């Protein structure tokens, strides 16, 4: 494979055969390497490799479980609660879907690592590598779009009402998937199974020429990491410049407080992405010029890349009040009590939220792009301005609309 992290890994001593290298995937040598380095090792070496494989399988299973459960909760929360369907949350929904599908590749990766061959056939080889690749690119493109959304919200607030709408967000998400499909088209063409020297079947990208593999490593590094990270960095530099330039203007401090929390959350998600993916791409670029690296290094970089997809829901739960409350409702099965999206009294939850102060006089009429607030919402007593597609300006504690 070449675009997905599993495809980039070179077959190394005692390692998997399916996640072969983007930079040498044309070689049918993985089986030979395994035979030479793994089968005839001394008993202590074999035992050490067996223990290492058990640990790796456990980590893969843990990452897969946390990623599937966490991203499923994010998807459920955004789809169920009307007030979570903001433009920003639609982008987060797309990111969660990509991460969820990305996690589905992990069981195949773990199985091929344990069995030391690909047992699922040619069709599944192409399908798994393609799904793995398209969701990897979709994730980074979603983060780029999220950062651009933050830029529009903070730097061009008057234009936000036009461009930061759920319908626009859905159209952009569709474009992201189409772009990802175009980027990973080489995988669709060249992914297939092949026999190794010792008779094992490997799933790999079968390049016509060795140079194609090295080119694809650089190609995926540029489109899947470097260029998106530069674009994201530019967005946040412009945001910082704007915030400093108008920090003393009337009304800006109030708006700044409401925007700061959601901007900080998106920036944190981006930072975790860079931390998780940079080792992976560094290892693959080093594999172009250095001898094959240690199997442990390859596995750690691969596990880190997959772990990024299970980290995002954890970040939402810790740094977004609304996601945290929604997750609490799921854990307490409060969502079973009503089939509608009517406001919910969070003060009555099993997790014993803070006391609720009802203010009937603040049940103002609904204005365009201004959602009704729950009586328990922290912003109910003070919010009086239309949102214009942005979080309520007088509710600094709410990074997202409160799900009801």
What is the per-residue pLDDT across 89-98, written as a single tens digit (0 to 9) for each?
A: 999 999 999 9
Residue 307: which of 260, 333, 275 has the closest Cα? 275
Decide: 383 and 395 in contact? Cβ < 8 Å.
yes
CA distance 76 to 71: 9
pLDDT given at position 14: 29
- Both structure tokens of 177: 């998937």
Mean pLDDT of 162-174: 91
**What does the DSSP 8-state code read for residue 83?**
G
Overall average pLDDT of the 147-166 stretch: 86
At residue 287, the pLDDT reads 87
Rounded-to-integer distance, Cα 400 and Cα 397, Å: 9
pLDDT on residue 281: 94
Residue 288's pLDDT is 86
pLDDT for the residue 12: 33
Nearest residue to 344 (alpha-carbon basis) of 370, 362, 326: 326
Once rounded to an integer, what is the mean pLDDT over residues 130-151? Answer: 93
Spatial separation of the C-alpha atoms in residues 286 and 360, rounded to whole Å: 64
3-state percent helix, strand, coil for the chain, nearest multiple of 5: 65, 0, 30
Q: What angle do CA 96, 169, 99 make, to 5 degrees?
A: 15
Residue 6 has pLDDT above 70, yes or no: no
Maximum alpha-carbon separation in the chain: 80
Residue that wins the pLDDT comparison between 197 and 142: 142
Q: How far apart are CA 167 and CA 125, in angstroms?
A: 35
Cβ atoms of 166 and 78 within 8 Å: the answer is no
The token pair at 90 is 């639609």
**Interatomic CA distance for residues 221 and 223, integer angstroms:** 6
Per-range mean pLDDT, top range of 180-184, 235-239, 304-308: 180-184
Contacts of 273 (CB under 8 A, 6+ apart): 139, 140, 143, 308
> Residue 200: its pLDDT value, please?
86
Residue 16 gets the label, from left (phi > 0), alpha (psi -120 to 50) or beta, of beta
Three-state secondary structure call for residue 310:
helix
Between these two residues, 260 and 254, which has the higher pLDDT value? 260
**pLDDT confidence of 247, banded at 50, 70, 90?**
low
DSSP reduced 3-state for 64: helix
The helix (H) or strand (E) run that includes residue 153 is helix 121-155
Q: Is the pLDDT of residue 369 over 80?
A: no
> What's the CA gap between 138 and 300, in Å, rounded?
22
Neighbours of 28 (CB within 10 A): 14
Kindly report, residue by residue over 176-216, the tens digit of the pLDDT. Answer: 999 999 999 999 999 999 988 888 899 989 999 889 999 99
Rounded to whole angstroms, the Cα distance separating 160 from 388 reads 7
Rounded to whole angstroms, how far apart are CA atoms 380 and 372? Answer: 9
- List the single range of 111-120, 168-177, 310-319, 321-330 with lowest mean pLDDT: 321-330
Residues forming a β-bridge with 289:
none
pLDDT of residue 242: 80
Residue reference for tokens 């975790």: 272
pLDDT greater than 70 at residue 17: no
Contact 19, 112 (CB under 8 A): yes
**Overall average pLDDT of the 18-42 stretch:** 40
């Amino acid at each position: 494979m070449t675009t997905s992290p599993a495809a980039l890994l070179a077959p190394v001593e005692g390692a998997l055969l399916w996640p072969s290298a983007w930079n040498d995937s044309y070689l049918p040598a993985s089986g030979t390497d395994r035979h030479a380095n793994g089968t005839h090792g001394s008993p202590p070496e074999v035992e050490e490799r067996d223990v290492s494989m058990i640990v790796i399988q456990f980590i893969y299973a843990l990452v897969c479980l946390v990623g599937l459960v966490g991203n499923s909760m994010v998807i459920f929360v955004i789809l169920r609660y009307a007030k979570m369907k903001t433009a920003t949350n639609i982008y987060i929904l797309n990111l969660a879907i990509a991460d969820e599908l990305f996690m589905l590749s992990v069981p195949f990766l773990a199985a091929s690592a344990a069995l030391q061959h690909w047992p699922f056939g040619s069709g599944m080889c192409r399908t798994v590598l393609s799904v793995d690749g398209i969701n990897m690119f979709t994730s980074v493109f979603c983060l780029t779009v999220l950062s651009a959304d933050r830029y529009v919200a903070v730097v061009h607030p008057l234009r936000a009402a036009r461009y930061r709408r759920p319908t626009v967000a859905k159209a952009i998400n569709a474009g992201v998937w189409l772009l990802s499909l175009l980027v990973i088209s080489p995988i669709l063409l060249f992914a297939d199974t092949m026999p190794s020297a010792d008779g094992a079947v490997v799933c790999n990208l079968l390049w016509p020429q060795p140079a194609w593999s090295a080119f694809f490593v650089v190609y995926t590094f540029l489109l899947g990491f470097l260029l998106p990270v530069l674009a994201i960095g530019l967005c946040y530099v412009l945001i910082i410049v704007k915030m400093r330039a108008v920090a003393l203007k009337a009304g800006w401090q109030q708006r700044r407080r409401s925007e700061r929390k959601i901007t900080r959350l998106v920036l944190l998600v981006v930072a975790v992405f860079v931390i998780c993916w940079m080792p992976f791409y560094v290892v693959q670029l080093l594999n172009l010029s250095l001898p094959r690296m240690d199997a442990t290094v390859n596995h750690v970089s691969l596990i880190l890349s997959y772990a990024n997809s299970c980290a995002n829901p954890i970040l939402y739960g810790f740094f977004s009040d609304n996601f945290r409350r929604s997750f609490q409702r799921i854990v307490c099965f409060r969502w079973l009590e009503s089939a509608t999206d009517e406001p919910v009294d969070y003060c009555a939850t099993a997790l014993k939220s803070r006391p609720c102060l009802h203010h009937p006089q603040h049940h103002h009429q609904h204005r365009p792009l201004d959602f009704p607030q729950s009586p328990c919402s922290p912003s109910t007593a003070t919010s009086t301005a239309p949102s214009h597609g942005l979080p309520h300006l007088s509710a600094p504690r709410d990074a997202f609309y409160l799900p009801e």
